[in-house]
Chain A
Amino acid sequence: MNAVERIVGSMLPLPRAHVDTDQIMPKQFLKRVERTGYGQYLFWDWRRTSDGEMNPEFVLNRPEYQNAKVLVTGPNFGSGSSREHAPWGIQDWGFEAVIAPSFADIFFNNCTKVGLLPVVLTEKECAYLTELAQHEPNAEVTIDVPSQKVTANGFEADFDIDPFIKHRLLNGLDDIGITLGHADAIDAFEKSRPPYKPVLSRSQ
Chain B
Amino acid sequence: MTEPRTLFEKVWDDHVIHRASGKPTLLYIDLHLVHEVTSPQAFDSLRLAGRTVRRPDLTMSTIDHGVPTAGREFGIRDPLSKKQIDTLIDNCAEFDITLYGLDDPRQGIVHVISPEQGATQPGMTIVCGDSHTATHGAFGSLAFGIGTSEVEHVLATQTLPQNKPKSMGITIDGTLAPGVTAKDIILGIIARIGTHGANGHVIEYRGSAIESLSMEGRMTICNMSIEGGARAGMIAPDQTTIDYLEGRPLAPTGSDWDAAVAYWLSLPTDEGATYDTEMIIDAAELVPHVSWGTNPGQTLPVTGHVPIPEFIEDPIERDSAERAIEYMALTPGMALTDIKIDRVFLGSCTNGRIEDLREAAAVLRGKTISPHVSAMVVPGSGLVKLQAEDEGLDQVFKAAGFEWRDAGCSMCLGMNPDILSPGERCASTSNRNFEGRQGQGGRTHLLSPGMAAAAAVTGHLTDVRSFA
Q: Does B156 contact A (CB under 8 A)?
A: yes
A182 to B374, CA, bound (A): 55
- Complex contact A182–B80 (CB within 8 A): no
Q: A147 at interface (Cβ–Cβ under 8 A)?
A: no
CB distance from B108 to the nearest CB of A (A): 16
Q: How far is the CA of A149 from the CA of B191 in the complex (A)?
A: 36
Contacts of B398 in A (CB 8 A): none
Known contacts A31-B66, A106-B146, A186-B17, A22 near B435 by CB under 8 Å: yes
Judged by a CB distance under 8 angstroms, whether A40 is at the interface is: no
Give residues of chain A (68-84) contacting chain B, Cβ–Cβ below 8 Å. Answer: 74-76, 79-84
Question: Min CB distance, A51 to chain B, in Å?
Answer: 9
Binds B, one of A4-12, A53-61, A107-115, A132-140: A107-115
Q: Is the Cβ of B195 less than 8 Å from the Cβ of A18?
A: yes
- Interface residue from B28, B119, B422 paired with A198 (Cβ < 8 Å): B119
Closest Cβ of chain A to B266, distance in Å, is: 12
Interface string of A94-137 (1 = CB under 8 A from B): 00000000101110011001100000000000000000000000
Chain A facing B: main interface SS: loop
Q: Does A16 contact B (CB under 8 A)?
A: yes
Q: Is B118 an interface residue (CB 8 A)?
A: yes
Interface residues on A, range: 35 or more
Q: Are A110 and B319 in contact (CB under 8 A)?
A: no
Q: Which of B237-257 contact A (CB under 8 A)?
A: 249-252, 256-257
Q: Which of B203-248 contact A (CB under 8 A)?
A: 226, 229, 231
A22 near B432: Cβ-Cβ < 8 Å: yes
Residues of A within 8 A of B319 (CB): 16-17
Q: What is the bound-complex CA distance between A198 and B67, given in angstroms?
A: 27
Which of these, B66, B157, B434, contacts A186 with CB under 8 Å? B157
Task: Pick the residue among B157, B229, B436, B441 that contacts A180 (CB under 8 A).
Answer: B157
Q: Is B164 an interface residue (CB 8 A)?
A: no
* Chain B, Cβ-Cβ closest to A74: B316
Of the residues A27, A84, A176, A197, contact of B415 by C-beta under 8 Å:
A27
Which residues from B are CB-within-8-Å of A175? 149, 153, 161
Asked whether any CB of chain B lies closer than 8 Å to the CB of A164, the reply is: yes
A45-B440, A194-B259, A200-B98 are known contacts. Are A189 and B28 too (CB-CB below 8 A)?
yes
Which of B30-38, B334-342, B358-366, B389-397 is the interface stretch? Answer: B30-38
Query: Given A26-B436, A179-B153, A200-B250, is A84 in contact with B38 using a C-beta cutoff of 8 Å?
Result: yes
The B115-172 residues at the A interface (CB cut-off 8 A) are: 118-119, 121, 124, 129-131, 145-150, 152-153, 156-159, 161, 163
A20 within 8 A of B: yes
| Interface membership of chain A positions 145-169, coded 1 if the CB is closer than 8 angstroms to chain B and 0 otherwise | 0000000000000000011100000
Contact yes or no, A182 B26, CB < 8 A: yes
Would B147 and A202 count as touching, CB distance under 8 A? no
Cα–Cα, bound, A190→B129 (Å): 23
A31-B81, A50-B422, A104-B229 known; A198-B196 Cβ under 8 A = no
**Beta-carbon contact of B161 and A179 below 8 Å:** yes
Q: Distance in Å from the Cβ of A108 to the closest Cβ of chain B?
A: 9
Q: Provide the bound-state CA to CA distance between A8 and B67, in Å.
A: 44
B57: nearest chain-A partner, CB-CB:
A199
Judge whether A176 and B38 touch: CB under 8 Å: no
Tell which of B44-52, B303-311, B378-386, B449-457 binds the partner: B44-52
Are B96's CB and A202's CB within 8 A?
Answer: yes
The answer to whether B436 touches A45 (Cβ under 8 A) is: yes
Question: Is the CB–CB distance between A197 and B45 below 8 Å?
Answer: no
For residue B174, which residues in chain A have a CB less than 8 angstroms away from its CB?
Answer: none
Q: How far is the CA of A27 from the CA of B441 in the complex (A)?
A: 13
**B:192-208 near A, CB below 8 Å:** 195-196, 199-200
In the complex, besides A182-B26, A186-B26, 17 extra interface pairs with C-beta distance below 8 angstroms are A22-B434, A27-B437, A31-B37, A76-B199, A80-B131, A105-B200, A106-B146, A106-B226, A110-B149, A113-B147, A113-B149, A176-B152, A176-B153, A185-B26, A200-B59, A201-B57, A202-B98
4 tightest A-B contacts by CB? A110-B147, A113-B149, A31-B80, A33-B40
